Amino acid sequence: MARADRIRNVDPSFRNWVKPGPMPDLEAMHTVPLEEGETLDAISGHWRIFQLRQGHRFSTDDILTAWYGTSWCPSARRVLDLGSGIGSVALVAAWRLPFSSFVTVEAQEASVALARKSVAYNGVGDRFDVRLGDIRDEDVFAGDEPFDLVLGSPPYFPPETGPISDHPQRAACRFELRGDIVDYCAAAAPRLAPGGVFACVFPVRPEHQRQRVFDAARAAGLCVVRWRPVALRAADGPLLGLFLMQRASDLPEAMRERCWEEPTLEVRDTNLEIHPEYLAVKLAFGFPP
């Protein structure tokens, strides 16, 4: 890309398209250091995120969680991100909700340190409270309720179901070492404002994985009001689901056992090209189609 295009943030494939949204903090860009073993990568529009080159890195799952939650709760003023990792879900949500404040809770010190760097770099420190703590610990939430929107990208698998990475950051993001979908629902339910929503992502294959979400919601006094299957590749069929929950007590009794299944969202089509609908999703968080 030509230097002039880099300055204007114009993608050479879409020469009339310019990244929308706020710029990172110009002073912080020069004072927040990029350490050995880290990378600084695009996350939304002009915003960037610090990641470990060999550690946990943000994924399509994170992007979709933030997109789904903010799409169904676009007026949220207070947002909670559970098990927030390096801050990818919360940062995308904050880019889409410019007038919202955020509390994030993460148990790994290395991930919290990276999230705090990204928050500072993008100039949103006044909107973020990045906390080190376990979502199963009541004290980490003291006095913060309620939240209009709660987000979560929980680990997917019990520890005994596969080989666990030697890298602690990666291991805890994939395997249920510090809580599971039950714990995420239990943490979200009492912290929702009246009419608030909890949005999360979770596998839907094998079938019992999807059922775990509905069982966890019910145990926490939540109802899954809608969900959307996600196929990362059309030929593989849906592997993930995006779920939107509300407290049962906030819903009319007739709605508590009803759940709307949306059409499958395909990320890549049968030719492995980005699906047109996912191109629109990318536009929604500031990337060219």
Q: Two tokens at 9?
A: 């943030």
Average pLDDT, the chain: 90
What is the pLDDT tens value at each position of the chain, 289 positions in all? 443 344 344 445 666 778 888 889 888 888 999 999 999 999 999 999 999 999 889 999 999 999 999 999 999 999 999 999 999 999 999 999 999 999 999 999 999 999 999 999 999 999 999 999 999 999 999 878 799 999 999 987 676 666 666 666 655 566 666 789 999 999 999 999 999 999 999 999 989 999 999 999 999 999 999 999 999 999 999 999 999 999 999 999 888 888 999 999 999 999 999 999 999 999 999 988 7
CA pair distance 149, 168, nearest whole angstrom: 29
Please state the domain count of the chain: 1
pLDDT in tens, 258-282: 899 999 999 999 999 999 999 999 9
Computed on alpha carbons and rounded to an integer, the radius of gyration of the chain in Å comes to 19
Q: Two tokens at 106?
A: 């993460």
Are the beta carbons of 92 and 67 closer than 8 angstroms? Answer: yes
Q: Is 7 left (phi over 0), alpha (psi -120 to 50) or beta?
A: alpha
In a domain, 87, yes or no: yes
Domain span holding position 277: 3-284
Distance of CA 134 to the CA centre of its chain: 17
In a domain, 289, yes or no: no
In a domain, 122, yes or no: yes
Candidates 149, 69, 155; CA nearest to 111 is 155
Are the beta carbons of 222 and 188 closer than 8 angstroms? Answer: yes
CA pair distance 93, 68, nearest whole angstrom: 9
CATH number at residue 169: 3.40.50.150
Return the number of other C-beta atoms located less than 10 Å from residue 259's C-beta. Answer: 16
Q: Two tokens at 70?
A: 């903010």
DSSP-H helix ranges across the chain: 3-8, 28-31, 60-72, 88-96, 109-121, 168-174, 181-188, 207-219, 276-284
